[in-house]
Amino acid sequence: MDKAEMKKKAEELLPHECGLASVEFEGPDVAIYLTNPAPFYESEEHIKTLSRGLRKKILVRCDASVRMPPEQALEFIRKIIPEDAGVEENGITFIPEFGVVVINALKPGLVIGKSGSNLKQIIIETKWAPRVQRSPTIPSNIIKGIRGSEAGLASERKKFLKSFGKKINVKREESGVDWVKAVALGAFKEIGRSCLLVQTNKDHVLIDMGMNIDTVDSNRAYPYLSSIGLAIEDIDAVIISHAHTDHSGFLPYLFKLGYDGPVFCTPPTRDIMTLLQFDNIKIANMMGKEPLYSDSDVRKAVAHTITRNYGEVTDITPNIKLTFRNAGHILGSATVHLHIGEGKHNIVYTGDVRYTPSVLFDPADTMFPRVETLFIESTYGGKTDIMPRSYERDQKLWDSCMETLKRGGKVLIPVFSVGRSQEVMLTLEKFVRGKEDEFPYKVYMDGMILETTAFHTAYPQYLKRTIQRRILSDESPFESPIFEPVKKNRKDIVEGEPCIILAPSGMLTGGPSNEYLKLLAEEPKNSLFFVGYQSSTSIGRRIQNG
């Protein structure tokens, strides 16, 4: 259906009193712009009827001609939102390009109101479409920056979404998909630079765009894009399974090369991978190296990112539908299901996956309706890779920490900022919970751990229900009094009282953990615990090997 056909169909399905002004493609979605939204919200059936009729996710907006001036709308919104919703002074942003007002709140439920009553009142009275986002309970500059950039990037994003929407809704060939091919461009039989090309006779989609940080050889560091015989403009879409650098770190370079299409991932993946990509630039500058890409390349990637939650079905090309499902690996990590050619073929790419429960996440969701081809991550898939029982592992970590602390030593645990650091935090908190007064030690968090932990409080719906409930009840385990962000000189910590130190990088290849190692290594009372993978050339692996 082209835009004219969409509008005609929408006019047939909508109450005439709504005053349909226009219909716009917003990437894979359709935005309808009304002059009178009140009749639309008289029945919940209207949105269902539209979605079924247009076979798209529907976004309801109001035409610019009827919107209340932002200053007046802000005053109205402030009046109906309860004070204890936790909306900061600068927590409300108007984005005229989309007719949207974004409200950031610590308690989104109070902003939404019973059965969405407050949101309905906002759009009916102000004619601005409200969108509510959960604020992290831990302050985060990067989350503020990413969310704040939405307004600044709105014009560029609007232009991109219109172009992409027209492409997938209008550019349809008469003949269907004849064949499907998958080409490995990185990470098959190696750790790092994950990238898989999925092709049909009409489509070219890349899954993951990682880089291998465990090599100085540029021929082994990045995906084999030059081998596929495709121009950058021929790539239809990029899908990112999760935010770790070996799956997303090369993405901004694709935009530097001229890529202008969409990137699909979950909301937490967008935020965390942006943080890590900016960190890649920072690390390169600190080491006196030329960064692979610039801040503007990262921002362009953000502007072209379309987020989807688990279970949402989305057209990413005229012939391919995408669905994300929980992979159980890190916050927002997803297995990728591609439904190709009206059911001709179904591919599942797991990304990094975990099939057992963790302290943070439910196990991977494997309930796919159809799968013909399955790609499974297998880093720990060998015959001898048998994991200990979780309670035995946790108890061993706790007992080992206490043994060191009681002899007056310090524990250094090198951790990955995303995922493993939060798992270790929750494991330690579990043993101390309710007995904080009996635990006279501090657990210091250094580097990016505080920022990445903030993401977990902003997206509790991606965590296990038990952790969700604690965060939503203002009892976040990540904010236990035993945890203390490092705000003083690291040497003072090392020369101070017995403590536990969580610090990246997880492989001791650099960062705070490497600095702590130099300060702690000579004292036999101290301990070093590895809780994650150590790459073949890392200092961590060299220590493990003696």
pLDDT tens by residue, 148-173? 888 889 999 999 999 999 888 865 55
* From the candidate CATH numbers 3.50.50.60, 3.40.50.460, 3.40.50.10890, 2.40.50.100, the one assigned to the domain spanning 390-544: 3.40.50.10890
User: Does the pLDDT at position 142 exceed 80?
Assistant: yes
Mean pLDDT of 245-269: 96
pLDDT class of 333 with cuts at 50, 70, 90 = very high
Is residue 467 within 8 Å of residue 425, measured between CB atoms? no
pLDDT at residue number 2 = 77
Mean pLDDT of 55-75: 95
pLDDT at residue number 169 = 81
Domain with CATH 3.60.15.10 in the chain: 180-375
pLDDT at residue number 482 = 95
pLDDT at residue number 112 = 96
pLDDT at residue number 299 = 94
pLDDT at residue number 192 = 86
**41, two tokens:** 């919200």
User: Does the pLDDT at position 507 exceed 80?
Assistant: yes
Q: How many C-alpha atoms does 306 have within 13 Å on its Cβ side? A: 25
pLDDT at residue number 334 = 98
Domain with CATH 3.40.50.10890 in the chain: 390-544
Per DSSP, 35 falls in state: S
pLDDT at residue number 173 = 55
Q: Read off the amino acid at residue 522.
A: E
Domain with CATH 3.30.300.230 in the chain: 3-65
Is residue 63 within 8 Å of residue 57, measured between CB atoms? no
Domain 180-375 is classified in which CATH homologous superfamily? Answer: Ribonuclease Z/Hydroxyacylglutathione hydrolase-like (3.60.15.10)
Class of domain 67-135: alpha beta
Residue 384 burial (CB count, 10 A): 5
Secondary structure, 3-state, 8-30: HHHHHHCCHHHCEEEEEEECCEE
Is residue 162 within 8 Å of residue 304, measured between CB atoms? no
pLDDT at residue number 172 = 55
Is residue 269 within 8 Å of residue 242, measured between CB atoms? yes
pLDDT at residue number 18 = 93
Answer yes or no: CATH 3.40.30.10 is held by domain 3-65: no
pLDDT tens by residue, 86-117? 999 889 999 999 999 999 999 999 999 998 99
Of the listed ranges 29-33, 144-148, 400-404, 422-426, the least confidently predicted one is 144-148
pLDDT tens by residue, 208-234? 999 987 777 778 889 999 888 889 999
Is residue 51 within 8 Å of residue 58, measured between CB atoms? yes
Q: What percent of the chain has pLDDT over 70?
A: 99
pTM: 0.93
Q: How many C-alpha atoms does 70 have within 13 Å on its Cβ side? A: 10
Is the peptide bond between 390 and the residue preceding it cis, with omega within 30 degrees of 0? Answer: no
Residue 100 burial (CB count, 10 A): 19
Mean pLDDT of 372-377: 95
Mean pLDDT of 467-492: 92
pLDDT at residue number 431 = 95
pLDDT at residue number 382 = 82
Is residue 204 within 8 Å of residue 236, measured between CB atoms? yes
Domain with CATH 3.30.300.20 in the chain: 67-135
Average pLDDT of the residues of the chain: 92
pLDDT tens by residue, 488-504? 899 999 999 999 999 99
Q: What percent of the chain has pLDDT over 90?
A: 74
Nearest C-alpha neighbor of 106 from the set 140, 133, 141, 143: 133
pLDDT at residue number 80 = 94
pLDDT tens by residue, 164-198? 998 888 655 555 889 999 999 999 888 889 999 99
User: Does the pLDDT at position 414 exceed 80?
Assistant: yes
